[in-house]
Chains A and B, each alone.
Chain A
Amino acid sequence: MSAQTGIEVRDGPTSGRLRDRVRHRVAGWRDEPNPLWMREMRQAARVQVTPIALAVLTVLMTVLLGAIGGIMGEKRSSPADAGQALFQTFFSLAYFVVALIGPALGANTIASEREGHTWEAVLLTGMRPEVVTRGKFLAAYTLIAMYIVMLAPVGALPFLFGGVTPTEVLFAFVLLFALALVAVGFGLAVSAKMQSTRGALVIALLTAVPLSGFCFSIFGVGGAEFARGTWGDTLSRGPIWLPRAYAVAPFNLEYLLYLVVVPLVVLALPAWFLYETSLANLTSVTEDRSFGLKRWHAVSSAICALLGLVPLAYLAPHESTAHAFAPAGVGVLAYAIFAAYLFATEPIGASRRMERVLEGRSRLRRWFGPGVPSTLSLLRWTTRGAVFVSLSAALLVARVRSSVSAPAGFPFVVEAACIGLWGFYVLGFTEFVFGLSAWLRARASGGAGVRPILLAILFATLAGPWVIAAITGLLTSSGSDALIVAALSPLHVLTHTFEAVTRGTSAAQRSFAASSISAVTYYVLGLALARVGRRRCDAIVTEHRALLADADARLAKEDEAAANAAAANEAAANENAEAAREPSLGDPRSTDRSA
């Protein structure tokens, strides 16, 4: 039963069949919508600013497009060119409208509840964080969808000029709606962390402005260049190239990979991440707040490892397999640092409540559970898996290429040495990153300072050796030897060792040895830090359990004493009552009665 809609919903599906269950679920969505979404819509309906803002935006866009159309007419451009120019202009602007208004609307959701002191009331209704997140997301997404729908008639104008097909316009709007998912999700994730609406808005917009510009450059301008190279000039006419690519590109493996898989990954992975981040920030610290993020991590590390292999499939005969493998290693490394940062504030161990919840669950579920040791294990094994897959694939490709086109490429031994070194270096360095993160977390009482310290140490590790090498090189004037110091930085393998080994220079052996030693050092150091960190966490958890057990024992003792006292009181009361009922021997009346 929904009080807000006044509709009575059936208790359950009419049968256990899939069809009935699906019908019941759909009926639930229709008749018993998310309560937060309903309430937000009721509130929004009374905000008088929204329709004014929508109308102003639409008028401005219409005037702008009219002006561009007029200028194009003055220049005597063909209608098709004018249509294409209007299409590019409108959807570029619409992209920025969605990319900036979406986060702002999302940022206004949960933070406003906290600021208005209504959050605790919502929390205590027993609504799960998932329901709250979905309700808030739907509310903000409905509003941004209203903006897009209001702009739709203006967006359809270019189609009237020609040069743009209706399918392209349709695809462009679909992409805008898809982009809005991530934009609102980003604002929501910020809002879930913040206490004030103003703070959430400022952070969301300060991040969204450069990020939207960066994404436009990479996926719009850069993507257009890529499309031109892949499908020719006719396909790409500007930064809004994807709708046309969907409409006219030949359907083949490239279409599937670049127009289906990559956009799906680029949109879905961040959207899922933002959703799980919001959930984590809405979940109590004593619950398993990072479970969703760990699920996301497991999937995304696998996807990233697979995407890192794509360059191996497009190798030219003269290109080195090791060089094509390099981006995969860089990707794994960057992702590992991000993951270590993400889980750096993980609780030392599971709370008492979570321990009880996880007691009967599978080992896999407990592996994804809270606590530094399980998180460390998860991070290490997922990264090891990613490195293993990348390394194996690269070695396989190198082997196949050497057997097929050995004269054109490098010898397999050289390729294998470079691939192996880079793979092992990535493995060693990621072990170090995870070990360091676990050790820092075990040392910190609340976990607050772990992230900045971790980032500072990693920055020093990545950049510091280069600074030292530069200084040493300047002082001794023996640049190439001094740069061996930089082998402590993973980047050294890519910039110097690969070069030296593939060219067979005199410094190759020294450089290779220095990089290998660094990799081993990082690996051993990582294992040691992880071991120390884990031991400390175990000790803290053991101590905490002992304290809880002690407190339980004290409370149980008190309960027992109270129960004994109550029993004694009751017995005394009963005894007194008995005594009062029993006839007294000295009482003549009682003697008479007994006689």
Chain B
Amino acid sequence: MTGPSRIVAPIRRDLPPAIRARHLWQRYGSRDVLRDVSFDVYPGEIFGFIGPNGAGKTTTIRIMATLVDPMSGRVEIDGLDVTMEPETVRRRIGYMPDHAGVYDRITVREYLEFFADAHAIPSLGVVDAVLELTDIGHLENQLVATMSKGQKQRLQLARILLHDPKVLILDEPASDLDPRARIEIRELLLDLQSLGKTILLSSHILSELSDVCTSIGIIEHGQMVVSGPIHEIADRLAQRKAALALGNEPSAYNANALGGAALGPSLSYAMGPSAAERRLVKLRVIGDLTAAAYTLHGGPGIFDVNVVGRSLHVGYGGGEAKVAEIVAQLVHRGFGVIGVEEEMRELERVFLEATGMPGRGGGA
């Protein structure tokens, strides 16, 4: 793993999207599983496909992976229609399904050699290359059956990298993994992004995605609620909130008006003001924590103040200027502030705001 020395490849929004889903509809029996789902993923992006179980993530992904034909709509991978040119698309994608199986009674190397042959890869060295890239070279002669879940996931990633696909589609890649394995997978994904791969990964666990995704798509009940870069969505939500506060119609602040990614119909939900406005900062303060808490309590824009261990947890509304104001206030009153840590809950906040679920936990 490259770790800190990783060079992140630029996201090319000036290029045509690597994945383009347009007006997808799918029905199973009498149930509409997908309803007009559209989104774009640009080259070099890590796109988090978020939604609760049964929202339509896997169906969308299976359409992208050429395993299911949509009833209506189109998916283009690298400019190719997946329905019309599935063989070519298969050469350009690496798909790792949810709960993918492995062949237990062969070794890691034999497993990869089989898939290298199945892909008709002309080079023998490719197996060594992916073993090294996914950091499982030391396991090459180990039987697959004896590997841990995390190692098996890495093996799956090695498998889908054999034919050097441009686009990686990963359905719940970190589900059922222990924390260490999750971190390893996350690091591996960032490595792959640095190699220029476009990655779409689905999950219903937000914490899995928050550190790696450059853009997201939130799907619920078969409809795309919102999609685009996380910061753009957050900005648009903030603008929308401001518009609501001024009594404007939310429809005036649609995707086109705000530029960039699309807002789905679910934005007409009533948003949770508390979830939208509230942020949390952890302050490490020298001195009497209770006195410091009293100093801040009831101040403008401050919702609550709690003493947790040796820190103050301050719930506030506003941006970074407000944090600076809080720190200045404490220093002014003679408290030493030795640490400021803003809680990283941007994705959870966006999710809650976009799906209109105030007061509910981020991880579904």
List B contacts of A121 (CB < 8 A).
97, 100-101, 115, 159
Q: Is the CB of B122 within 8 A of A35?
A: no
B116 touches A3 (CB 8 A): yes
Q: In whole angstroms, what is the CA distance A126 to B119 when docked? A: 7
Asked whether B22 is an interface residue with its Cβ less than 8 Å from the other chain, the reply is yes
Instruction: Select A43's contact among B73, B93, B106, B124, beta carbons within 8 Å.
Output: B106
Cross-chain contact A551 with B110 (CB below 8 angstroms) = no
Check B232 for interface membership: any CB of A closer than 8 A: no
* 8 A Cβ contacts from B247-287 to A: none
Binary per-residue interface labels of chain A (119-131) against chain B in the complex, 1 for a CB within 8 Å, 0 otherwise: 0111111110000
- The 0/1 profile, CB within 8 Å of A marked 1, for residues 5-37 of chain B is 000000000000000001100000000000000
B69 beta carbon closer than 8 Å to chain A: yes
Interface string of A25-40 (1 = CB under 8 A from B): 0000000100110110
Q: Does B146 contact A (CB under 8 A)?
A: no
Are A118 and B103 neighbours in the complex by a CB distance under 8 Å?
yes
For the complex, what is the distance from the CA of A36 to the CA of B113, rounded to whole Å?
11
- Considering the complex, give the chain B residue whose CB is closest to the CB of A5: B117
Given A3-B116, A120-B95, decide whether A39 and B106 contact each other with a Cβ distance below 8 A. yes
Bound CA span A370–B23, Å: 28
Beta-carbon contact of B65 and A124 below 8 Å: yes
B65 — nearest CB in chain A belongs to which residue? A124
Q: Give the distance to chain B from A32, nearest Cβ to Cβ, in Å.
A: 8
Among candidates B22, B115, B124, residue contacting A125 with C-beta atoms closer than 8 Å: B115
CB closest residue in chain B, given A561? B256
Those of B124-159 within 8 Å (CB) of chain A:
124, 126-127, 143, 159
> For residue B112, which residues in chain A have a CB less than 8 angstroms away from its CB?
3
Answer whether residue B322 sits at the interface, using C-beta atoms and an 8 A cutoff.
no
Q: A3-B124, A353-B84, A555-B23 are in contact. Are A124 and B101 (CB under 8 A)?
A: no
Q: How far is the CB of B67 from chain A (nearest CB, A)?
A: 6
Q: Which of A117, A125, A551 is the one whose CB lies under 8 Å from B101?
A: A117
The answer to whether A4 and B110 have CB atoms under 8 Å apart is: yes
Interface residue? B66 (CB, 8 A): yes
* Beta-carbon contact of B118 and A127 below 8 Å: yes
Query: A365 at interface (Cβ–Cβ under 8 A)?
Result: no
CA of A188 to CA of B121, assembled, Å: 28
Which listed residue, B95, B101, B113, touches A118 by the CB 8 Å rule?
Answer: B101
Which chain B positions have C-beta within 8 A of A122? 118
> Are A42 and B110 in contact, with the CB atoms below 8 A?
yes
Residues of A within 8 A of B360 (CB): none
Task: Using A6-B124, A35-B114, A547-B72 as known contacts, say yes or no to A353 and B95 having CB atoms under 8 A apart.
Answer: no
Nearest-neighbour CB distance to chain A for B244, whole angstroms, equals: 27
A47 on the B face (CB < 8 A) = yes
Instruction: Report whether A124 and B83 are in contact in the complex, using a CB–CB cutoff of 8 Å.
Output: no
Residue of B nearest to A123 (CB): B67
Q: CB within 8 Å of A: which of B57-88?
A: 65-67, 69, 72-74, 83-84, 86-87
Known: A42-B110, A46-B105, A352-B84. A120 touches B117 (CB 8 A): no
Known contacts: A35-B118, A43-B105. The answer to whether A124 contacts B95 by CB under 8 A is yes
Does the CB pair A352–B90 fall under 8 Å? no
- Collect the chain B residues with CB atoms within 8 Å of residue A554's CB: 23
* Contact partners of B119 in chain A: CB under 8 A: 125-126
Q: Is A17 an interface residue (CB 8 A)?
A: no
Is residue A574 contacting chain B, with contact meaning CB distance below 8 A?
Answer: no
Contact of A117 among B84, B100, B127 (CB under 8 A): B100
Chain B residues with CB below 8 A from A124, complex form: 65-67, 90, 93, 95
B residues in contact with A47, CB < 8 Å: 105
Report the number of A-B residue pairs with Cβ-Cβ less than 8 Å: 101
CB-based nearest A residue for B94: A124
A2 touches B (CB below 8 Å): yes
Residues of A within 8 A of B69 (CB): 284, 286, 351
Contact with B along A538-576 (1 / 0, CB 8 A): 000000000100010011001000000000000000000
Given contacts A3-B117, A4-B117, contact A39 B110 (CB under 8 A): yes
Q: Is B231 an interface residue (CB 8 A)?
A: no
The answer to whether the Cβ of A116 comes within 8 Å of any Cβ in the partner chain is yes
In the complex where A39-B114, A124-B65 touch, is A117 in contact with B103 (Cβ < 8 A)? no
Output the least CB separation between B172 and chain A (Å). Answer: 13
Is the Cβ of A125 less than 8 Å from the Cβ of B118? yes
Residues A126 and B106 in contact, CB atoms below 8 Å apart: no
A223 to chain B, nearest CB (A): 42
A551 to B23, CA, bound (A): 9
> Which residue of chain B lies nearest to A33 when distances are taken between CB atoms in the complex?
B117
What is the CA–CA distance of A352 and B84 in the complex, to the nearest angstrom? 7
A256 proximal to B (CB < 8 A): no
Asked whether any CB of chain A lies closer than 8 Å to the CB of B102, the reply is yes
Contact A120 B97 (CB under 8 A): yes
Which residue of A has the minimal Cβ distance to B122? A1
Is the beta-carbon distance between A126 and B91 smaller than 8 angstroms? yes
Distance between Cα atoms of A123 and B97 in the complex (Å) = 12
CB distance from A348 to the nearest CB of B (A): 15
B99 at the interface (CB under 8 A from A): yes
Cα A126 to Cα B65 with chains together (Å): 12
- Bound-state CA distance A32–B127 (Å) is 17
Give A77 to B154 CA distance when docked, in angstroms.
69
The answer to whether A2 and B117 have CB atoms under 8 Å apart is yes
**Residue A75 CB within 8 A of the other chain:** no
Q: Does A76 contact B (CB under 8 A)?
A: no
A38 cross-chain contacts in B, Cβ below 8 A:
114, 117
Contact A39 B74 (CB under 8 A): no
State whether A35 and B117 are in contact (beta carbons under 8 Å apart), knowing that A117-B97, A551-B73 are contacts in the complex. Answer: yes
- Contacts A123-B67, A126-B90 given; indicate if A3 touches B97 (C-beta within 8 A): no
Whole-angstrom CA separation of A570 from B193 in the bound complex: 29
Inter-subunit contact A43/B103 (CB<8 Å): yes
Chain B residues within CB distance 8 Å of chain A: 22-23, 65-67, 69, 72-74, 83-84, 86-87, 90-91, 93, 95, 97, 99-103, 105-106, 110, 112-124, 126-127, 143, 159
* 30 A-B contacts (beta carbon < 8 Å): A2-B117, A3-B113, A3-B116, A3-B126, A3-B127, A4-B117, A38-B117, A39-B106, A39-B110, A42-B110, A43-B105, A46-B143, A117-B97, A117-B100, A117-B101, A118-B101, A120-B65, A121-B159, A125-B119, A126-B90, A126-B91, A126-B119, A284-B86, A351-B69, A352-B84, A353-B83, A353-B86, A551-B72, A555-B23, A558-B22
Interface residues of A, Cβ cutoff 8 Å to B:
1-4, 6, 32, 35-36, 38-39, 42-43, 46-47, 116-118, 120-127, 284, 286, 351-353, 356, 547, 551, 554-555, 558
